[in-house]
Amino acid sequence: MNRKIFTMSFDDGTVQDRRFIELIDKYCLRATFNLNSGFFGNKHFITHEGIKVNHDEVTADEVKTLYCNHEIAVHTVHHPNLIKCSDAEVVAEVSDDFQKLTELSGKEITGMAYPCGGHCYDDRVIRLITENTPIRYARTTDSHHTFALPDDFMKWHPTCHQNDSQLFDSAEKFINAEATEKDLLFYLWGHSFEFDKFGSWGKFEEFCNLISGRRDITYMTCGETYRYLTGKAGKENRTGQ
């Protein structure tokens, strides 16, 4: 039976994740959190798209409990532009983050989100990651505004951003769509600090209320979605043999 799948992927591990997780847990939604292990406990503000916002990061000792209901994934140790890194630096940024997050969380980690806007990857970076680390999927920030499944899990493009002008229209289309011939995937991405930046906590709770609790929608983390889709593809291939 084909499914309609909703998943979310949020980056940077800022302290706003605490409020965000409390919110999505209230609506029984699932998310993946991409963390930079080199920045735990940092306290600072950043200017993001011209707006100053608190970007304090969560502490290492709260990782296991804060994200217990969700997936943890790699975002590199120090959030560099991987295209500008040497081969050794690319591998170290990903593998060291993987090792530290695995140690802190006790969770299985199979995925990541590319840092620096998600556009900072190329075929070399992908080859280095897949050949030298356990990472098997990686999210970009190239929103396609559809419910299409990924053609390449190492170039996994999301449906839209949390502040996308089409967010609610996309939700209504997804709710009304029927997954008859193939699975449909609504993949939302963002940063929890952007709810402070845009003052959009209330608006996002409206979205959570709209998208949640639907009997015909399956709520998954990105890793769960990856395992479901790759497992299903394997079964279909074996059936066709």
List, for residues 46-86, the tens digit of each pLDDT value: 999 999 999 999 999 999 999 999 999 999 999 999 999 99
Phi, psi of 61 (to 5 degrees): -75, -5
Confidence at residue 177, expressed as pLDDT on a 0 to 100 scale: 94
Residues above pLDDT 90, as percent of the chain = 90
Low-confidence ranges of the chain (pLDDT < 70): 118, 233-241
Class (C level, CATH) for 4-240: alpha beta
Supply angle C-alpha 192, 130, 182, rounded to 5.
Answer: 70
The whole-angstrom separation of Cα 121 and Cα 114 is 7
Phi, psi of 78 (to 5 degrees): -120, 10
Do 13 and 58 contact (CB within 8 A), yes or no?
yes
| DSSP classification of residue 151 | S
Tell me the three state secondary structure of residue 47.
strand
Question: From the CA atom positions of the chain, what is the Rg in Å?
Answer: 17
Do 186 and 171 contact (CB within 8 A), yes or no?
yes
The whole-angstrom separation of Cα 73 and Cα 38 is 14
Confidence at residue 236, expressed as pLDDT on a 0 to 100 scale: 42
The whole-angstrom separation of Cα 23 and Cα 68 is 14
Confidence at residue 119, expressed as pLDDT on a 0 to 100 scale: 77
Do 104 and 128 contact (CB within 8 A), yes or no?
no
Q: At what angle do helices 167-176 and 201-211 cross, to 10 degrees?
A: 10
Tell me the three state secondary structure of residue 45.
strand
The whole-angstrom separation of Cα 87 and Cα 124 is 8
What digits encode the pLDDT tens for the residues 214-225? 999 999 999 999
47 conformational bin, left if phi > 0, alpha if psi -120 to 50, beta if neither: beta
Overall pTM surpassing 0.75 (yes/no) = yes
Neighbours of 90 (CB within 10 A): 24
- Give the residue extent of every domain in the chain: 4-240
